[in-house]
A and B are shown apart, each in its own frame.
Chain A
Amino acid sequence: MAVTHMTEPHTGDDEPLLSVRNLTKHYPITDGLLATDVGRVRAVDGIDLDVYPGETVGIVGESGCGKSTAARSLLRLEEPTAGTVVFDGEDITAFDTSALKRFRRRAQLLFQDSDSSFDPRMNVGDAIAEPLTVQGMRERTRRREIVTDLLDRVGLSAADADRYPHELSGGQQQRVALARALSVNPELLIADEPTAALDVSVQSEILALLDDLHATVGLSILLISHDLGVIRQLCDRVAVMYIGEIVERGSVEDVFTNPQHPYTRALVASIPTTDPRERGTAVELTGDVPSPSNPPSGCRFHTRCPELIQPDGYDFDQRTWRRIMDLRQHLADGTVDIETICHQSVMDHDDDTGPDQRSETEPTAKLREEFALPEQLEDARADSILESALDCLVAGDPGRAADLLATEFATPCEQHAPTLEATDAGQDASCLRHD
């Protein structure tokens, strides 16, 4: 279905329905009695996005990357910290209360958790009609007719209007949620993880319904999901988010078949495949997802990137290089527990040799083992620096060890933030390898 749309409708002359520029949402972290600002969670940190009329655009990313916050702040359900959101030629960030209320008819959000998005004391009919009532439609009979029609279209019966949300299954609730979102005939529907809480079989029903409504009503849809399969099934274009930023953006076709950003490559490789020859090729991302309250410097993906740029003059095996950087990351985070590692080495050797007979190099060898580093780096100079850093670490000076490694194994990825630019493959990606 999605494939039949133009893959890149924005090549035409038409204006985008929704145009987001530099959308930013930071949450202040406050502390103490006076609520002093001690930092900010950069949930969404300057994203640009266009949605053209009739188009389905996806935003994909891991949990906590800011997808939902992006959806809420671009609808001004939460006030964005900065940026502009132009909807049909008007900047909605400048809207006053009444203009915003009118805007709510034209853009609706479909919530992730359909169960809690319904007031348990409002029956289904009243819930679907709520946007109509709020927007000023007073005639009860007319509202009732619209609700009946909507229930019919989303595959429920008119009698369901009298039921209460808790009497419905998850799939039925999501259908009702869809009916509620459609009731004011919006031009843009933002669907925030519309199927995340559903069984797989129900998921596909809801997606089919969404796709069907998209075709019949002519909606533009911004679909937010962590599930690449869902995005691939419904969307024309996709934006990949990582810690509050868009790292790759382009047509679904381009992004999924020829991803240009290492993060996208890792995501695409993680899609389960039925082809046995393609199994086991998944790129494993090391490390934890960094916190948006303290995003990494330079390229935000550099702490986990499997394709990190190597320093001038070195040509490591890429996996070894990643592990050196992982060690640096652990040192920076202060998560290296030298006591445990060394203690473990004493324990291991207790049976055959006494502690006195241990050779001097053993703790560092143990550290290499711990961080999956080879016993000897190919490059002699690099190896000696690594060895002296490990020595510092054993000697109880992790700061100096970190400094040593940081000076020698500096990567441009931690110093320069890449910008989202067009690549040769067609889509936009923000990776220094393309700059």
Chain B
Amino acid sequence: MSSDSDSRRNTFEDVDWDEIDDTARPISHRALAIASAYAIFVGGVAYDVLLAPEGDTIASLGLSLQALDWLYILTLLTLVVFGLVPLSEHRRMTAHYWNQFKKNTAAVVSLGYLLVVFAIGSIGPRVLEKPRVDARNAYQPPVFTSVESWLPVDCVGPVVNDRCHGTWAHPLGTTHEGKDILVSVIYGMEVSMQVGLIAAFITVTIATVVGISAAYFGGWVDTVLMRYVDLQITFPTFFLYLVVVYLYGGSLFSMIVIFGLLGWGSIARIVRSEALQRREETYVLAAKNAGASSSWTIRRHLLPNVSNSVITAATLLIPSLILFEASLAFLGLGDPTVPSWGGLIASGRNDLQYAWWISTIPGVFLFGTILAFNFIGDALRDAFDPRSGGGTT
């Protein structure tokens, strides 16, 4: 740096702190952007609840958003604001984690798979018609495979040697009701993503708030919150859901909300123990020495430093939620109108002997998705671990 610019450069001795004390604090652009994004969201919900005609949100577009859709939007919004934006702001940190992460090839493949599932699951249901019951179209085999011709009522493809061959009209075949399996699987993708992401969002948010409050404030706050967690962990959530199903019928929304609101206990414990350690670090004292408030310390030091364990726990929580939803749907305890993978698998279980594809294909997608989340969880845990070598180089 040349001496010219040196002389003009701002130095710490030039700072007039009294002047800074007197100037009003403008709200940063960032905070403003975040606040307005959430304000728009709240406005949308308020409009839907208070003003929009029954059933329709924006009638002219034929758009009808349900409570579940709003929750999903909130989840994705939060994921962008507190996940993607910080990652893009801290490029070097992100690059470091990515380098660690990509050492695990299975996890990179898994990430690609999940992004594809997420993209197709988000776009597909918007452009594709919901699979319809069409008895004449039942039991069509997937493309490149064949089935004895007596099984389908009306074989769409060519019948060769008494065998009905699959066609591109139904690449993954159809169910006993004649629903296209590819379309059903695509609808199922959205359901699975909604279940996993929304429930994980609810869980992680509550667990983080509770865990950090308990650790940071300690004393009776800690005692009350953690004793409540003890109680909640013993609470039979599954039976509560059964009661709700019995009283009001199965619904994806109530399933997600019940498991989201009652399933955060163990993650809250993880967050608390992590935050307790972090609270004793010298950098928290250093922040106090700089004059930082509790909220600054929590936001800038505790939260980023417990995020590792939170993210890892969440990536391992999501597949278990997806699997749980599939199990409930398989048992017929889900929402019958929701085209969930579990429901699809269940619908094929009587025909497994003749029409293997009905249960198998959604089962493969379910399996792949669970596996992918688990691989990613593993890789993230390794990437975030400072002892993994990368942290010290």
Contacts and interface: CB of A to CB of B under 8 A. Distances in A.
A104 B291 contact: yes
A398 to B, nearest CB: 41
A119 interface: yes
Nearest to A75: B289
Contacts of B287: 130, 134
B28 A185 contact: no
Interface in B1-51: 1, 9-13, 15, 17, 20-21, 25-26, 28
Nearest to A136: B20
A240 B13 CA distance: 33
Interface stretch (A108-116, A310-318, A424-432): A108-116
Contacts of B17: 102, 105, 135, 184
A117 interface: yes
Nearest to B290: A131
Nearest to A183: B12
Contacts of A146: 10-12, 15
Interface stretch (A148-156, A242-250, A266-274): A148-156
A185 B12 contact: yes
Contacts of B281: 116, 119
B304 A119 contact: yes
Nearest to B280: A116
B198 to A, nearest CB: 27
A314 to B, nearest CB: 51
B296 interface: yes
B304 A130 contact: no
Contacts of B305: 119-121
A130 B292 contact: yes
Contacts of A119: 281, 283, 300-301, 304-305
Among A72, A75, A109, A130, the most chain B Cβ lie within 10 Å of the Cβ of A130
A122 B282 CA distance: 14
A56 B386 CA distance: 39
A102 B21 contact: yes
Given A146-B12, A149-B10, A135 B282 contact: no
A111 B304 contact: no
B135 to A, nearest CB: 59
A416 B167 CA distance: 103
Interface residues of B, number: 37
Contact of A117 (B90, B283, B393): B283
B289 A145 contact: no
A152 B20 contact: no
A256 interface: no
A136 B25 contact: yes
A381 to B, nearest CB: 57
A428 B159 CA distance: 110
A18 B17 CA distance: 21
B99 to A, nearest CB: 14
A149 B12 contact: yes
Interface residues of A, number: 46
Contacts of B15: 132, 137, 146, 184-185
A101 B26 contact: no
A94 interface: no
A426 B93 CA distance: 57
A134 B301 CA distance: 13
Interface stretch (A158-166, A225-233, A286-294): A158-166
B20 A123 contact: no
A101 B391 contact: no
B92 A164 contact: yes
Contacts of B13: 185, 217
B92 A123 contact: yes
B285 interface: yes
Contact of A135 (B28, B290, B304, B393): B290
Interface string B230-245: 0000000000000000
Contact of A166 (B28, B300, B392): B392
A30 to B, nearest CB: 13
Contact of A105 (B92, B285, B291, B292): B291
B286 interface: yes
A149 B13 CA distance: 10
A145 B9 contact: yes
Contacts of B26: 138
B283 A142 contact: no
A33 to B, nearest CB: 12
A23 B223 CA distance: 33
A221 B245 CA distance: 70
A182 interface: yes
Contacts of B391: 120, 166
Given A113-B282, A183-B12, A131 B28 contact: no
Contacts of A145: 9-11
A77 interface: yes
Contacts of B300: 119, 122, 130
Nearest to B291: A104
B349 interface: no
Contacts of B291: 100-102, 104-105, 131, 134-135
25 contacts: A75-B289, A77-B289, A102-B21, A109-B289, A113-B282, A117-B286, A119-B281, A119-B305, A130-B292, A130-B300, A131-B290, A132-B15, A134-B293, A142-B10, A146-B10, A148-B1, A149-B9, A162-B92, A164-B92, A164-B93, A167-B393, A184-B12, A184-B290, A185-B13, A185-B15
Given A117-B283, A135-B290, 14 more contacts: A104-B290, A109-B286, A109-B289, A116-B281, A119-B301, A119-B305, A122-B283, A122-B301, A123-B93, A130-B290, A132-B15, A166-B386, A185-B12, A185-B13
Counting from the closest, the 7 A-B pairs by CB-CB distance are A104-B291, A131-B290, A145-B10, A117-B282, A101-B291, A116-B282, A119-B283
